Amino acid sequence: MEEMIKALPQHTNSWSKGKMIMYKYQDFWSIKHLIEGAILAQQSFKAEPSDVFLCSAPKTGTTWLKSLSFAILTREKFDESTTPLLTKFAHECVPLLENSHVVEHENIRKNLSLPLISTHLPYASLPESVISSNCKIVYIYRNIKDVIVSQYHFGREALKLSMEDAPFEEAFNDFCKGVSGYGPYWDHVLGYWKASLERPEKILLLKYEDLKSEPKSNVKRLADFIGSPFSVDEEKAGVVDNIIKFCGFENMSKLEVNKTGKINGSLFENRFYYRKGKVGDWMNYLTNEMKEKIDKLTDEKFDGTSLLL
């Protein structure tokens, strides 16, 4: 494995002061341990038809989607005052497939309290059995400019670099070249988008901005899709609203587990996953020139699709 990874194309992100090395495996970029996990998952993970995959590129709303899906599927057992989400990080409630090592792949199913598994892998790199088992897939995506800013801060915080030490412009340029977490980001979105056209009954696309502006209709779509629709009585009793409120940024970012917790052995503190949770924060970071550059690239990549980022 070590030799195989070493032979892959490499890129040292200049903004990271040489601290972040990315490798290109298949058609995406990521860091070493996640590529190792991806290879192991492709070799050994056996999906079951009842599995529901929560898929996303990093920083597009993965944590939010996990909390919502978990709260939806466990609502008969728990409410807002008893849910495990009060004390357990969303990424522990729903594991990341490629973060697990081989033994854990064998155990991942035993450890699942629900049939929810997440992954950042592009559609084309999913373990073969995810497709052949016809598993349901929920894919969340987000405005590219907000993803750039969010990935920048996440990486910077993990490496303990100040903004002065990690020039945003360099991170922006890497992202434009496609060297971003599981990037190129456009290809990531396009892969799932195309698949959703071919298999709409199995792949649901959600957009971060829509979830923000119209949470109720989108949370109901999510619940319908993952096989746990809200009844009329539940809706009347405020169950949907309560889940939206509980899983909202305001509430989640204030929970102790999300303010001070950290998964054992992880580089990333839980709080890094709750930064601002806003639409349009990119305006505070991108110059007009950067905006034009990324919009032009996006127009070119998404030409002929109905996708807007």
In terms of CB distance, is 146 or 174 closer to ligand A3P?
Answer: 146
Residue 90 exposed, middle or buried by CB count within 10 Å (0-12, 13-18, 19+)? buried
Instruction: Give catalytic status of residue 101 as yes or no.
Output: no
Least distance between ligand A3P and beta carbon 118 (Å):
9
Q: Which of 84, 274, 297, 302 binds ligand A3P (CB under 6 A)?
A: 274
Least distance between ligand A3P and beta carbon 105 (Å):
22
Cα angle, residue 89 at apex, residues 201 and 145 outer, rounded to 5°: 65
Residue 281 touches ligand A3P, criterion: CB under 6 A: yes
Residue 268 touches ligand A3P, criterion: CB under 6 A: no
Q: Which of 87, 276, 292, 296 binds ligand A3P (CB under 6 A)?
A: 276
Q: What are phi and psi of 109, to 5 degrees?
A: -70, -40
Least distance between ligand A3P and beta carbon 274 (Å):
5
Distance of CA 8 to the CA centre of its chain: 24
Residue 63 touches ligand A3P, criterion: CB under 6 A: yes
Least distance between ligand A3P and beta carbon 196 (Å):
19
In terms of CB distance, is 127 or 277 closer to ligand A3P?
Answer: 277
Residue 249 touches ligand A3P, criterion: CB under 6 A: yes
Cα angle, residue 274 at apex, residues 268 and 276 outer, rounded to 5°: 135
Q: Which of 41, 59, 116, 184 binds ligand A3P (CB under 6 A)?
A: 59
Which residues 39-58 are close enough to bind ligand A3P by CB under 6 A?
56, 58
Q: In this structure, what token pair is assigned to residue 240?
A: 């949907």
Residue 277 touches ligand A3P, criterion: CB under 6 A: yes
Q: Which of 252, 255, 286, 294 binds ligand A3P (CB under 6 A)?
A: 252
Residue 98 touches ligand A3P, criterion: CB under 6 A: no
Choose the catalytic residue: 91, 105, 120, 188.
Answer: 120
Q: Which of 36, 51, 146, 174 binds ligand A3P (CB under 6 A)?
A: 146
Q: Are the beta carbons of 84 and 150 closer than 8 angstroms?
A: no
Residue 155 touches ligand A3P, criterion: CB under 6 A: no
Q: Which of 13, 16, 42, 62 binds ligand A3P (CB under 6 A)?
A: 62
In terms of CB distance, is 84 or 129 closer to ligand A3P?
Answer: 84
Q: Which of 150, 180, 218, 270 binds ligand A3P (CB under 6 A)?
A: 150
In terms of CB distance, is 252 or 257 closer to ligand A3P?
Answer: 252
Residue 248 touches ligand A3P, criterion: CB under 6 A: yes
Q: Of 231, 184, 265, nearest to 11 (Cα)?
A: 184
> Positive or negative, the Cα torsion across 3, 9, 265, 81?
negative
In terms of CB distance, is 24 or 275 closer to ligand A3P?
Answer: 275
The footprint of ligand A3P (CB under 6 A) covers: 56, 58-64, 146, 150, 153, 247-249, 252, 273-277, 281
Q: Which residues are catalytic?
A: 120
